Structure 1
Amino acid sequence: MSLGALAAFLFIAGVAAYVQTITGFAFGLVMMGLIALVGLLPLPDAAAMVGLLTLVNATQMMLHGGRHHVARHLLRLVLSASLPTLVIGYFLLEWLADTRADALKVVLGIIIMASSLQLAVQRKALPRQSSDASFVGFGIISGVMGGLFSTGGPPLVYHFYRQPMPTAKIRETLVAAFGAAQVVRLSLVALSGNIPPPSTLAGVAAVPVVMGMTYAARRWPPPLSAAALKVVVFVLLFLSGVSLALPAALRLLGV
Structure 2
Amino acid sequence: MTLPDGTFALLMLVALGSWFQTLTGFGLGLIVVGAASALGLPLAGVATFVNLVSLPQNALALRGCGTHIDWRLAAAATLGLLPAVVLGLLLLEQLDATAALALQALLGALVLHAALGLLRRPRPLAQPSSTPSFVLSGLAGGLMGGLFGMAGPPLILHFYRQPLDVARIRSALLVVFTAMSLWRTLASAAQGHLDTTLALQAGAALPVMAVATQLARRLPPPLSQAGLRRLAYGVLWVLGAWLLIDALRRLVP
Q: Same fold (TM over 0.5)?
A: yes
TM-score, structure 2 normalization = 0.77
- 1:19-49 CA deviation, whole Å, 9 max, x = no partner? 222344222111111011112246x811111
> What's the CA shift for 1:76?
2.5
TM-score, structure 1 normalization = 0.76
Measured in 1, the distance between the counterparts of 2:222 and 2:165 equals 26
- 1:205-250 CA deviation, whole Å, 9 max, x = no partner? 11211111011122333578884995699479728964x8646643
What aligned pairs does 1:12-31 form with structure 2 within 5 A after superposition? 12-31=13-32
Residue 64 of structure 2 corresponds to 64
Residue 163 of structure 1 corresponds to 162
> Would the aligned equivalents of 2:20 and 2:27 in 1 still touch at CA under 8 Å?
yes
The alignment partner of 1:68 has SS state of helix
Query: Which letter maps to 1:77?
Result: A
Query: Which letter maps to 1:219?
Result: R
> Gaps (5+ residues) in structure 2?
none
> Gaps (5+ residues) in structure 1?
none
Cα separation, partners in 2 of 1:249 and 1:108, compared to 1, 3 Å: closer
CA RMSD of aligned residues (A): 3.9
Query: Which letter maps to 1:7?
Result: F
> Is residue 46 of structure 2 the alignment partner of residue 49 of structure 1?
no
- 1:41-84 CA deviation, whole Å, 9 max, x = no partner? 46x8111111222222211112232x233323222221211110
Residue 145 of structure 2 corresponds to 146
> What's the CA shift for 1:188?
1.2
Counting aligned pairs with the same residue, the percent is 33
> Would the aligned equivalents of 2:15 and 2:209 in 1 still touch at CA under 8 Å?
yes
Cα separation, partners in 2 of 1:236 and 1:218, compared to 1, 3 Å: same
Residue 186 of structure 1 corresponds to 185
Measured in 2, the distance between the counterparts of 1:7 and 1:92 equals 36
> What's the CA shift for 1:145?
3.0
Measured in 2, the distance between the counterparts of 1:128 and 1:231 equals 22
> What's the CA shift for 1:203?
1.7
Residue 200 of structure 2 corresponds to 202
Residue 114 of structure 1 corresponds to 111
Query: Which letter maps to 1:114?
Result: V
> Would the aligned equivalents of 1:113 and 1:241 in 2 still touch at CA under 8 Å?
no
> Would the aligned equivalents of 1:52 and 1:186 in 2 still touch at CA under 8 Å?
yes
> Would the aligned equivalents of 2:25 and 2:171 in 1 still touch at CA under 8 Å?
no
> What's the CA shift for 1:162?
2.1
The alignment partner of 1:14 has SS state of helix
